[in-house]
C-alpha cells in the first residue's frame, strides 16, 4: 500500500446505536484482507479519562495494558482486531484541554490567544497522527454530529482530510432509522437531517450505516432513499438491522461494503471470515449444551457494565460448543436459592459497599457447596473475606467497607491513603504474577508466569493468610517479589479460583481466556 489512509466513523440521530461495533467490524474485514489496521476512539466529553464515569450510565471502564481507563469501545476494538491497545488509542477532550491549559500557563504560546480552533483542533490532529500506526487508521468520534462538545472534533477531521488528501479518507456516518408501527414504515427523515448536519460541517460521507430495529433487513428503497439524499454511491450503504451477536457485523460489512473496501484499501484479497461465520451462524444442534452462570452484580439493569465479562463467558461457552445463559443475581438481594439455581457463579469487579454482603455470601455458598466460583478483583476480595470469616475472624471485611482494626483482611495499599475518590491513582494496567506449581491456576493457564491487567486500590492483607487458609483458601499466585496476592483458590473445591486482576480484558472471541474456560468446563461438569 502506498500512502496511509484514514477512516472516520461518526454518528447521527442518536448515540449508542453501534458506531463502535461498526468501526471495529470494518477494521476486522480490512485486517482479514491483509491490511494493517490501527484504531482510535475520540471522546468529546470533558473528562480526562473514563475512570470516574458512572458505569451504570457509560458501561464498563475498559483498561488497557498501559493502564489507561477507557471507554468500552476499546474493548470491542481489542476483541475484534485481537490487538492490545494503549493510551494513544483513546483521545478525550478533557485530557487535550488539560494539556493545552498547562502549556498556556507555562507560557508556551508566546502571547497568542489560545482557542478551540486552531489550538484544540491541532491537538486532535496531532493525536490522530500519533495513533495512526496502521496502513489504514480508523477513528471513531463519540457522540453525534452536532453535539456542542464534538464540534472541534468534526472540524479537526475535516481539516485533517484536507491535509492528508480527501482521497485518502473514508467518512462513515452511522444513522438510525426508526420504524413506525402505526403506518408500518421506515422513516428516513431523521437520518436525512443528520446527513444534512454533517454536510453543514463540510463533510460529504462516503458510507452510511443504516441501523434499524428488528432482525429483518429493511426494503431496498430505504437504502436508496438515503443514498440519494446523502449523495453516497449505492455501494456505500450498509444495512444494519439488529443482530443476535455483534460478531455478525463483520459479515454484514463485508456483504454490503466489500467492493468499496477493496477499492479504498487497494487490497483485492477475499477476506477469510470463516471464524466470524462460525460464531455468527452457530448451529443450534451442535451448540446444544446449555450452562447457566450466575453473575452476582450491583448493576443488573445495564449489561454493558460488565461487557467484557459477559463476552468472555460467551466466547468460553462457544469454544465448548455450548450456550451460556447469564443469570443476573442482584447482589443486594442474593439468596442461597439464587446460588443453587445456577451451574456456576462469577463475582465481577466493583467499587463501593452496596451489594458486597451478597457477594461475600456467594463466595461462602460456593466454598460450602463445592459450587464453581470465579472471582474477579472485588470477587477475589469477597472470597477472601468469606474465607477469613469462616476461619474465625467473624467481622472480617475490607477497609473499603469500613473494616475495624484487626479485621481488615483487605486493606489499602501503602501510598493510596486519602486518594479513594481521585482519578488515575489505582494500580492500573499490566502486572506480572507467578503461579504456584501444581495449583489450579497454573493448570488452567498451562504456565506459571502470567501477565494480567489490573484496576484496584485495595490488596489482600497477608497478616491474615492463616485464617484465610483455615477458611478454605490458599494463595496460588503472587507478584514476582511475593508482596502482593494475585490469585487465591480452594484446594478442597473442584473449581474455586479468584484473581485480583481483570482477565476478561484479555479474552478474545476466538481465544477465550483460560479462567473463563475453566469456569465453563466446571459448570458444565457440575450440571
Catalytic site positions: 377, 502, 504
How many Cβ atoms are within 10 Å of 395's Cβ, its own excluded? Answer: 11
User: To the nearest whole angstrom, how small is the minimum distance from the Cβ of residue 50 to ligand GLN?
Assistant: 14
For the packed helices 121-131 and 151-164, what is the interaxial angle rounded to 10 degrees?
60
Q: Looking at beta carbons only, is 78 or 135 nearer to ligand GLN?
A: 78
Q: Looking at beta carbons only, is 455 or 506 nearer to ligand GLN?
A: 455
Tracing cell 443528520 back to the chain, one arrives at 194
Please compute, for residue 380, the number of CA atoms within 13 A of its CA located in the half-sphere on the CB side.
28
User: To the nearest whole angstrom, how small is the minimum distance from the Cβ of residue 403 to ligand GLN?
Assistant: 13
430 neighbors 66 (Cβ within 8 angstroms): yes
User: To the nearest whole angstrom, how small is the minimum distance from the Cβ of residue 23 to ligand GLN?
Assistant: 27
454 neighbors 502 (Cβ within 8 angstroms): yes
Q: Looking at beta carbons only, is 158 or 359 nearer to ligand GLN?
A: 359
85 neighbors 75 (Cβ within 8 angstroms): no
Q: Looking at beta carbons only, is 157 or 386 nearer to ligand GLN?
A: 386
Is there binding between residue 510 and ligand GLN (CB under 6 A)? no
User: To the nearest whole angstrom, how small is the minimum distance from the Cβ of residue 312 to ligand GLN?
Assistant: 15
User: To the nearest whole angstrom, how small is the minimum distance from the Cβ of residue 416 to ligand GLN?
Assistant: 9
**Nearest residue by C-beta to ligand GLN?**
349
The CA-atom distances, in angstroms, between 60 and each of 67, 69, 149, 188, 334 are 15, 10, 22, 32, 22
Q: Interacting stretch for ligand GLN, rule CB under 6 A, among 67-75, 319-327, 456-464, 518-526?
A: 456-464
Is there binding between residue 419 and ligand GLN (CB under 6 A)? no
Which of 351, 425, 443, 474: binder of ligand GLN (CB under 6 A)? 351
Looking only at the bridges linking them, the beta strands covering 373-376 and 496-499 are: parallel
- Can you tell me the distance from the alpha carbon of 334 to that of 374, in angstroms, rounded to the nearest whole number? 17
User: To the nearest whole angstrom, how small is the minimum distance from the Cβ of residue 59 to ligand GLN?
Assistant: 15
Q: Looking at beta carbons only, is 83 or 330 nearer to ligand GLN?
A: 330
Which of 457, 469, 470, 508: binder of ligand GLN (CB under 6 A)? 457
- Can you tell me the distance from the alpha carbon of 459 to that of 470, in angstroms, rounded to the nearest whole number? 19
Q: Looking at beta carbons only, is 63 or 156 nearer to ligand GLN?
A: 63
**Helix-strand-coil split of the chain, %, nearest 5:** 40, 20, 35
Is 288 buried (19+), middle (13-18) or exposed (0-12) by CB count in 10 A? Answer: exposed
# chain residues binding ligand GLN, by CB under 6 A: 10
Which of 142, 350, 471, 518: binder of ligand GLN (CB under 6 A)? 350
Which of 455, 478, 504, 517: binder of ligand GLN (CB under 6 A)? 455
Is there binding between residue 55 and ligand GLN (CB under 6 A)? no
Is there binding between residue 254 and ligand GLN (CB under 6 A)? no
Is there binding between residue 377 and ligand GLN (CB under 6 A)? yes
Is there binding between residue 282 and ligand GLN (CB under 6 A)? no
Is 274 buried (19+), middle (13-18) or exposed (0-12) by CB count in 10 A? Answer: exposed
User: To the nearest whole angstrom, how small is the minimum distance from the Cβ of residue 260 to ligand GLN?
Assistant: 42
- Can you tell me the distance from the alpha carbon of 260 to that of 367, in angstroms, rounded to the nearest whole number? 56
Is there binding between residue 378 and ligand GLN (CB under 6 A)? yes
Is there binding between residue 452 and ligand GLN (CB under 6 A)? no
Q: Residue 483 has which C-alpha cell?
A: 508482596
Which of 41, 65, 211, 456: binder of ligand GLN (CB under 6 A)? 456
> What DSSP string describes 141-152?
EPS-TT-GGGHH
24 sits in the region (left: phi over 0; alpha: psi -120 to 50; else beta) called: alpha
Encoded one letter per residue, x for contact with ligand GLN by CB under 6 A and - for no contact, window 379-418 reads ---------------------x------------------
465-484 binders of ligand GLN (CB under 6 A): none
User: To the nearest whole angstrom, how small is the minimum distance from the Cβ of residue 350 to ligand GLN?
Assistant: 5
12 neighbors 120 (Cβ within 8 angstroms): no
User: To the nearest whole angstrom, how small is the minimum distance from the Cβ of residue 203 to ligand GLN?
Assistant: 39
Q: Looking at beta carbons only, is 267 or 310 nearer to ligand GLN?
A: 310
Q: Looking at beta carbons only, is 169 or 293 nearer to ligand GLN?
A: 293
How many Cβ atoms are within 10 Å of 200's Cβ, its own excluded? Answer: 11
Q: What 3 state SS string does 157-215 have?
A: HHHHHHHHCHHHEEEEEEEECCEECCCCEECCHHHHHHHHHHHHCCCCCCEEEEECCCC
- Can you tell me the distance from the alpha carbon of 70 to that of 49, in angstroms, rounded to the nearest whole number? 6
Q: Interacting stretch for ligand GLN, rule CB under 6 A, among 118-126, 157-165, 299-307, 347-355?
A: 347-355
Which of 62, 171, 458, 496: binder of ligand GLN (CB under 6 A)? 458
The CA-atom distances, in angstroms, between 284 and each of 150, 280, 287 are 43, 11, 5
- Can you tell me the distance from the alpha carbon of 235 to that of 223, in angstroms, rounded to the nearest whole number? 10
Which of 18, 142, 349, 429: binder of ligand GLN (CB under 6 A)? 349
Instruction: List residues binding ligand GLN (CB under 6 A).
Output: 349-351, 377-378, 400, 455-458
Amino acid at each position: 500500500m502506498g500512502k496511509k489512509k484514514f477512516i472516520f466513523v461518526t454518528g447521527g440521530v442518536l448515540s449508542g446505536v453501534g458506531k463502535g461495533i461498526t468501526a471495529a467490524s470494518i477494521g476486522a474485514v480490512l485486517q482479514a484482507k491483509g491490511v494493517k489496521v490501527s484504531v482510535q476512539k475520540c471522546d468529546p466529553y470533558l473528562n480526562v479519562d473514563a475512570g470516574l464515569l458512572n458505569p451504570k450510565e457509560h458501561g464498563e471502564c475498559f483498561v488497557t495494558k498501559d493502564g489507561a481507563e477507557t471507554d468500552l469501545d476499546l474493548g470491542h476494538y481489542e476483541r475484534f482486531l485481537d490487538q492490545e491497545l494503549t493510551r494513544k488509542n483513546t483521545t478525550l477532550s478533557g485530557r487535550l484541554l488539560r494539556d493545552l491549559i498547562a502549556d498556556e500557563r507555562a507560557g508556551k504560546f508566546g502571547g497568542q490567544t489560545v482557542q478551540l480552533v486552531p489550538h484544540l483542533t491541532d491537538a486532535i490532529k496531532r493525536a490522530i497522527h500519533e495513533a495512526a500506526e496502521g496502513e489504514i487508521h480508523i477513528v471513531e468520534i463519540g457522540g453525534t454530529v452536532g453535539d456542542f462538545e464534538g464540534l472541534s472534533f468534526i472540524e479537526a477531521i475535516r481539516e485533517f482530510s484536507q491535509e492528508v488528501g480527501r482521497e485518502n479518507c473514508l467518512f462513515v456516518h452511522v444513522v438510525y432509522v426508526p420504524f413506525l408501527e402505526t403506518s408500518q414504515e421506515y422513516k428516513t427523515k431523521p437520518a436525512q437531517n443528520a446527513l444534512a448536519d454533517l454536510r453543514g460541517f463540510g463533510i460529504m460521507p462516503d458510507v452510511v450505516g443504516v441501523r434499524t430495529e428488528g432482525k429483518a433487513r429493511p426494503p431496498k428503497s430505504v437504502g436508496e432513499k438515503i443514498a440519494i439524499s446523502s449523495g453516497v454511491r449505492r455501494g456505500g450503504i450498509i444495512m444494519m438491522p439488529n443482530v443476535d451477536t455483534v460478531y455478525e457485523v463483520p459479515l454484514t460489512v463485508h456483504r454490503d461494503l466489500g467492493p468499496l473496501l477493496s477499492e479504498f484499501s487497494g487490497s483485492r484479497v477475499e477476506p477469510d471470515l470463516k471464524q466470524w461465520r462460525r460464531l455468527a451462524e452457530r448451529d443450534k444442534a451442535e451448540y446444544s449444551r446449555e450452562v447457566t452462570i450466575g453473575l452476582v452484580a450491583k448493576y443488573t439493569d445495564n449489561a454493558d457494565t460488565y461487557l467484557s465479562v459477559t463476552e468472555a463467558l460467551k466466547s468460553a461457552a462457544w469454544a465448548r460448543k455450548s450456550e451460556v445463559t447469564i443469570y443476573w443475581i442482584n447482589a443486594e438481594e442474593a439468596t442461597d436459592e439464587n446460588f443453587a439455581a445456577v451451574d456456576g457463579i462469577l463475582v465481577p469487579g466493583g467499587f463501593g459497599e452496596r451489594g458486597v454482603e451478597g457477594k461475600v455470601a456467594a463466595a461462602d455458598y460456593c466454598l460450602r457447596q463445592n459450587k464453581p466460583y470465579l472471582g474477579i478483583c472485588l470477587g477475589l476480595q469477597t472470597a477472601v473475606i468469606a474465607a477469613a470469616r469462616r476461619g474465625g475472624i467473624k467481622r472480617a471485611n475490607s477497609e473499603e467497607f469500613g473494616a475495624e482494626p484487626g479485621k481488615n483482611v483487605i486493606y489499602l495499599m501503602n501510598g493510596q491513603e486519602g486518594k479513594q475518590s481521585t482519578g488515575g491513582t489505582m494500580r492500573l494496567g499490566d502486572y506480572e504474577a507467578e503461579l504456584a506449581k501444581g495449583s489450579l491456576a497454573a493448570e488452567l493457564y498451562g504456565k506459571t508466569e502470567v501477565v494480567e491487567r489490573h484496576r484496584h486500590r485495595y490488596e489482600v492483607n497477608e497478616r491474615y493468610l492463616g485464617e484465610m487458609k483455615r477458611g478454605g483458601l490458599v494463595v496460588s499466585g503472587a507478584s514476582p517479589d511475593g508482596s502482593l496476592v494475585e490469585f487465591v483458590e480452594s484446594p478442597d473445591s473442584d473449581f474455586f479460583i479468584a484473581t485480583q486482576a481483570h482477565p476478561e480484558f484479555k479474552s478474545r472471541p476466538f481465544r477465550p481466556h483460560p479462567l473463563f474456560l475453566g469456569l465453563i468446563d466446571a459448570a458444565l461438569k457440575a450440571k
